[in-house]
Chain A
Amino acid sequence: DAKTTQPPSMDCAEGRAANLPCNHSTISGNEYVYWYRQIHSQGPQYIIHGLKNNETNEMASLIITEDRKSSTLILPHATLRDTAVYYCIVHNNAGNMLTFGGGTRLMVKP
Chain B
Amino acid sequence: DAGVIQSPRHEVTEMGQEVTLRCKPISGHNSLFWYRQTMMRGLELLIYFNNNVPIDDSGMPEDRFSAKMPNASFSTLKIQPSEPRDSAVYFCASSRYSGGHNEQFFGPGTRLTVL
A contacts, CB < 8 Å to B: 32, 36, 38, 41-46, 49, 87, 93-94, 96-103
Contact = CB atoms under 8 A, between A and B. Distances in A.
B42 interface: yes
A98 B50 contact: no
Contact of B108 (A36, A43, A99, A101): A43
B80 interface: no
A97 B56 contact: yes
A100 B43 contact: yes
Interface residues of B, number: 27
Contacts, number: 52
Interface string B92-115: 010101011111111111000000
A67 B4 CA distance: 37
Taking chain B's interface residues, is the majority helix, strand, or loop, or is none over half, making it mixed? strand
Q: Which 10 A-B pairs have the closest CB atoms?
A: A43-B106, A100-B43, A46-B103, A43-B91, A44-B106, A93-B100, A96-B97, A96-B31, A43-B109, A43-B107
Nearest to B93: A43
A36 B43 CA distance: 12
